[in-house]
């Protein structure tokens, strides 16, 4: 392991020897460079492995049906079939499913941002009886697996006549979720109280302070929660699977699972991969635009949790 | 109570009101309801009728599929969580060394972790295709045996474990932040004392990182006991129930067989399993998790 790096270093060392620190530093530096090289090779190899599935996805989505099942596979199709994407959009109500998904996702984002930020502000700043007990209970609800509430909620939505509508997928978001309330509370607690006091002297009520002081100062936290809810809702499968039965109300994730059932005889893998890529694309774009906010959110949840 | 205090109290309740309603309507109520339902026989169409502990007794004594699903989820957790943590830690350590291209690498490792659901499951189903899938193509190229993966009773679960390692990026980001929070002077002091890298890792890095490791362990266990989409889409629990994850079995009982009472009993067992595992981990954490005074 050490041999390949040694020659370059021993060539470089004679000139420096006059000023060189004691020899243990030299060997430590050598060892660190070797370690750095190993780490770099490890990272690069891992990165290639991580990227391979993406390459496979794109490659398959651009192939002709006959080119998909060829061994050994061709990574770069000789004649990329961009028309596969058009075929998906034309033969499959892709836009219908897309609109359903966008609608549900936007509503969940709106509902979560409103309810969680207001509750987060209340827990962070306002004093009211029972606040700490309820906050503790709220944190505890994060421990409850969604499967426990799934069946009662289903029967509730049956009773309300909401099954096979999009309502069960987004209405609960307007009633908050513990994790995002917790995130907002953490953000809001770092806002200096003096700013709120200044707004109060200017005649702001609590809603005014929330709107004119808290919201403008916590745009990053709103973005973080928006992105988390976007990714979670966009990819959600179990919710639509349980509640949606009409074809016209399917979300992309649900529709994709049906697409698979119909066509996974093999022959349609090229369009299946094209459809999958199109479903993933919004998340990938959002990831690249808001990577920093996602990382901030992860760190906050990981360290403070 | 003064007027200002009363106004603050009122505003506090009002702001939290959606959530307070939400807790009752969408969490506390359903949790209690689910507990009651778990003692009944209910198909959603006819009124539930009380059967006492029968659901739980059947689960434990007469339902081999229940035990199979527990075993599947437990084996998956036992491998995917520690392996994921180990890889995430290795990547985070390497990314923390100020190597060239580290921000690009971080992005690459992080990206898959935000992708999930049906599209990812379909992609991996194709990757694991026994005949033409990416993995077997590569395995054959280097002369290794190419198993049937998702169609093999023996290899289907390992395939899903391998797939889970693709999404370690979120854990890796948390570790990276943890590593960057370790004060450099600790390492300097250790270096002056003549500690080698392995000693520094064992005596500084691991203890300083242990709260974060503990957090991701708990979250990892909770998450892996709730695996559903992959199993539903990629293998549908098969072959021969080899990937019958706990939540998939719960889903089938509830929404395919309309055994709501039985499924509620399963849900409560899941809750209890998660609670127990968390408590055990909290208890064990005394022996290995180090909380810094400053943190």
Number of domain units in chain A: 2
Interface test with B, best of A32, A42, A43 (most B CBs within 10 A): A43
Whether B4 contacts chain A with CB within 8 A? no
Alpha helices, DSSP H only, in chain A? 6-16, 23-61, 65-68, 83-91, 94-125, 131-141, 146-159, 167-170, 178-189, 193-201, 206-209, 215-217, 219-235, 238-243, 252-263, 269-304
A61 conformational bin, left if phi > 0, alpha if psi -120 to 50, beta if neither? alpha
- The string of pLDDT tens digits covering residues A259-299 is 866 555 556 888 889 999 999 999 999 999 998 888 888 77
Contact check, Cβ <8 Å, B126/A238: no
Characterize the bridge pairing of strands B40-41 and B49-50.
Answer: antiparallel
Domain B63-288 carries which CATH code? 1.10.3720.10
Q: Is the pLDDT of residue A97 over 90?
A: yes
B19–A276 CB contact, under 8 Å: no
Confidence of residue A78 (pLDDT cuts 50, 70, 90): confident
Show which of A56, A83, A110 is a domain's final residue: A83
Which one of A40, A61, A83 terminates a domain? A83
Over 80: is that where the pLDDT of A14 sits? no
Counting every residue written for chain B, the total comes to: 295
Mean pLDDT, range A165-170, rounded to an integer? 96
What torsion do the CA atoms of A168, B264, B28, A152 make, to the nearest 10 degrees? 30
Residue A246 main-chain phi, psi, to 5 deg: -75, 140
Per-residue HEC secondary structure of B207-245 comes to HHHHHHHHHHHHHHHHHHCCCCHHHHHHHCCCCCCCCCC
Q: Do A167 and A43 reside in the same domain of the chain?
A: no
Domain CATH for A256: 1.10.3720.10
User: Do the Cβ atoms of B31 and A149 come within 8 Å?
Assistant: yes
B115:A283 CB<8 A = yes
- CA A172 to chain B, closest CA, distance in angstroms equals 7
Task: Classify residue A160: in a domain, yes or no.
Answer: yes
Q: In A, which residues are within 8 Å of B21 by CB distance?
A: 175
Chain A neighbors of B212, CB-CB under 8 A: 302-303
Pair A186, A253 in one domain: yes
Angstrom distance (rounded) from CA B115 to CA B124: 12
The residues in B 236-265 lying below 8 A from A, measured between CB atoms, are 247, 250-251, 254-255, 260, 263-264
- Predicted pLDDT at A267: 62
pLDDT of residue A11: 37
In angstroms, what CA-CA distances link B251 with A13, A117, B37, B239, B244?
66, 33, 16, 18, 11
| Partner-chain residue, chosen from A119, A141, A238, that has the shortest CB–CB distance to B18 | A119
The answer to whether residue A1 is domain-embedded is no
pLDDT in tens, A116-164: 999 999 999 888 888 999 999 998 888 888 999 999 999 999 999 999 9
Establish if A168 belongs to a structural domain. Answer: yes
* Confidence grade of residue A2 (pLDDT, cut at 50, 70, 90): very low
A and B: number of Cβ contacts within 8 A: 269
Query: Token digits for B39?
Result: 């003692």
State the smallest CA–CA distance between residue B62 and chain A in angstroms.
Answer: 22
pLDDT of residue B4: 82
> Over chain A, what is the mean pLDDT?
85
| Domain membership flag for residue A54 | yes
Q: Among all residues of chain B, which has the CA nearest to that of A241?
A: B255
Q: Is residue A61 part of a domain?
A: yes
- Looking at the structure, tell me whether residues A116 and A71 fall in a common domain: no
Show Cβ contacts of residue B223 under 8 Å, excluding neighbours closer than 6 positions: none
Task: Clarify whether residues A162 and A102 are in a common domain.
Answer: yes
Bridge partner residues of B110 (DSSP): none
Distance of CA A298 to the CA centre of its chain: 10
Of B15, B87, B126, which has the smallest distance from its Cβ to A122's Cβ? Answer: B15
Whether B15 and A141 lie within 8 Å, measured CB to CB:
no
The residue count of chain A comes to 305
Rounded to an integer, what distance in angstroms lies between the CA atom of residue A227 and that of residue A180?
Answer: 11
Please give the share of chain A, as a percent, with pLDDT higher than 90.
52
* Structure-token pair, residue B287: 């022996």
A155 → chain B, closest CA residue: B44
A103 and A179 fall within a common domain: yes
**Residue B127: partners with Cβ closer than 8 Å, 6 or more residues away:** A53, A56, B133, B134, B135
- CB contacts, 8 Å: B200 with chain A: none
Q: Are residues A127 and A265 in the same domain?
A: yes
Task: Give me the domain span that covers residue A184.
Answer: 92-304
- In Å, how far are A135, B6, B191, B278 from A140, measured between CA atoms? 9, 28, 43, 12
- Look at residue A73 in the predicted model and tell me its pLDDT: 81
- At A1 the pLDDT is 33
Per-residue pLDDT at A303:
57
List CB contacts (< 8 A) between B7 and chain A.
206
Say yes or no: A53 and A132 in one domain.
no
Kindly give the confidence (pLDDT) of every residue in chain B, 295 residues in length, as a single tens digit, with 9 standing for 90 and above. 688 888 888 999 999 999 999 999 999 999 999 999 999 999 988 899 999 999 999 999 999 999 999 999 999 999 999 999 999 999 999 999 888 888 899 999 999 998 988 999 999 999 999 888 899 999 998 989 889 899 999 999 999 999 999 999 999 999 999 999 899 999 999 989 888 888 999 999 999 999 889 989 988 999 999 999 999 999 999 899 999 999 999 999 999 999 999 999 999 999 999 999 889 888 888 888 887 654 4
pLDDT at B31: 95
Split at pLDDT 50, 70, 90, the class of A68 is: confident
Residue A11 maps to a domain = no
| Residue A61 binned pLDDT confidence (cut-offs 50, 70, 90) | very high
Domain boundary among A83, A104, A132: A83
Give the ipTM of the model, two decimals please: 0.88
Give A284's contacts in chain B (Cβ within 8 Å): 111, 115
Q: What pLDDT sits at residue A171?
A: 96
**For residue A205, what pLDDT is reported?**
87
Helix (H) or strand (E) holding B247: helix B246-251
Q: Measure in Å the smallest separation between the Cα of B88 and chain A Cα atoms.
A: 11
**A17 vs A249 pLDDT, higher one:** A249
Is 90 exceeded by the pLDDT of residue A180? yes
- Tell me if A9 is assigned to some domain: no
Provide the residue ranges of all domains of chain B, joining segments of one domain with +: 63-288
Of A224, A237, A120, A103, give the one whose Cα is nearest residue A171: A103
In chain A, the residue whose alpha carbon lies closest to the alpha carbon of B176 is A299
Q: Which residues in chain A touch residue B137, judged by CB atoms under 8 angstroms apart?
A: 71-73
Residues A201, A267 within the same domain: yes
Identify the pLDDT of residue A174: 96
Contact predicate A177/A108, CB 8 Å: no
Q: Which residue is associated with the tokens 């045996």?
A: B145
């Amino acid at each position: 392991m050490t041999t390949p790096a040694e020659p370059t270093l021993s060539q470089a060392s004679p000139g420096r020897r006059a000023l060189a620190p004691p020899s243990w530093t030299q060997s430590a530096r050598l060892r660190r460079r070797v370690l750095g090289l190993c780490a770099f090779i490890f990272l690069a190899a891992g990165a290639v492995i991580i990227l391979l599935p993406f390459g496979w996805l794109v490659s398959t989505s651009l192939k002709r049906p006959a080119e998909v099942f060829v061994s050994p596979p061709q990574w770069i199709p000789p004649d990329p079939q961009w028309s596969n994407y058009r075929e998906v959009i034309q033969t499959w109500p892709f836009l219908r499913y897309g609109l359903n998904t966008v609608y549900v996702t936007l509503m969940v984002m709106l509902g979560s941002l409103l309810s969680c930020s207001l509750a987060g502000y209340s827990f962070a700043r306002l004093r009211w009886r029972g606040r700490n007990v309820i906050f503790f209970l709220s944190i505890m609800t994060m421990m409850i697996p969604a499967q426990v509430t799934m069946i009662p909620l289903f029967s509730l939505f049956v009773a309300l006549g909401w099954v096979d509508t999009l309502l069960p997928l987004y209405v609960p978001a307007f009633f908050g979720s513990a994790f995002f309330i917790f995130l907002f509370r953490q953000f809001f607690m770092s806002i200096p109280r003096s700013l709120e006091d200044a707004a109060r002297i200017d005649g702001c009520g609590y809603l005014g302070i929330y709107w004119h002081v808290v919201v403008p100062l916590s745009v990053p936290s709103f973005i973080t929660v928006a992105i988390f809810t976007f990714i979670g809702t966009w990819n959600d499968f179990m919710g639509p699977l349980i509640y949606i039965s009409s074809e016209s109300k399917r979300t992309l994730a649900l529709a994709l699972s049906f697409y698979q059932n119909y066509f996974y005889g093999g022959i349609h893998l090229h369009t299946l991969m094209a459809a999958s890529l199109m479903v993933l694309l919004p998340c990938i774009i959002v990831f690249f635009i808001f990577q920093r906010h996602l990382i901030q959110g992860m760190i906050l949840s990981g360290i403070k949790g | 109570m003064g007027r200002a205090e009363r106004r603050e109290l009122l505003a506090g309740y009002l702001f939290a009101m959606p959530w307070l309603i939400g807790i009752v309507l969408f969490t506390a109520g359903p949790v209690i309801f689910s507990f009651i339902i778990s003692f009944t026989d209910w198909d959603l169409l006819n009124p539930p009728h009380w059967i006492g502990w029968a659901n739980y007794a059947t689960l434990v004594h007469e339902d081999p599929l229940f035990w199979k699903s527990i075993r599947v989820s437990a084996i998956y957790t036992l491998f995917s969580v520690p392996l994921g943590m180990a890889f995430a830690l290795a990547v985070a350590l390497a990314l923390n060394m100020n190597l060239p291209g580290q921000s690009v690498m971080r992005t690459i490792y992080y990206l898959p972790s935000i992708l999930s659901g049906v599209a990812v499951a379909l992609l991996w189903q194709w990757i694991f295709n026994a005949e033409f899938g990416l993995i077997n193509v590569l395995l054959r190229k280097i002369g290794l045996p190419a198993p049937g993966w998702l169609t093999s009773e023996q290899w289907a679960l390992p395939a899903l474990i391998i797939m889970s390692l693709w999404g370690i990026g979120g854990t890796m980001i948390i570790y990276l932040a943890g590593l960057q929070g370790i004060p450099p002077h600790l390492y300097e002091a250790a270096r002056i004392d003549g500690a080698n890298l392995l000693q520094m890792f064992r005596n500084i890095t691991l203890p300083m990182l242990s709260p974060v490791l503990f957090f991701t362990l708990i979250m990892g266990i909770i998450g892996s006991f709730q695996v559903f989409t992959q199993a539903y889409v990629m293998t549908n629990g098969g072959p021969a129930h080899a990937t019958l994850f706990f939540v998939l079995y719960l889903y089938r009982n509830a929404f395919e067989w309309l055994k709501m009472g039985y499924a509620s009993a399963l849900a409560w067992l899941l809750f209890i399993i998660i609670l127990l595992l968390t408590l055990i981990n909290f208890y064990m954490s005394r022996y290995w998790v180090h909380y810094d005074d400053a943190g």
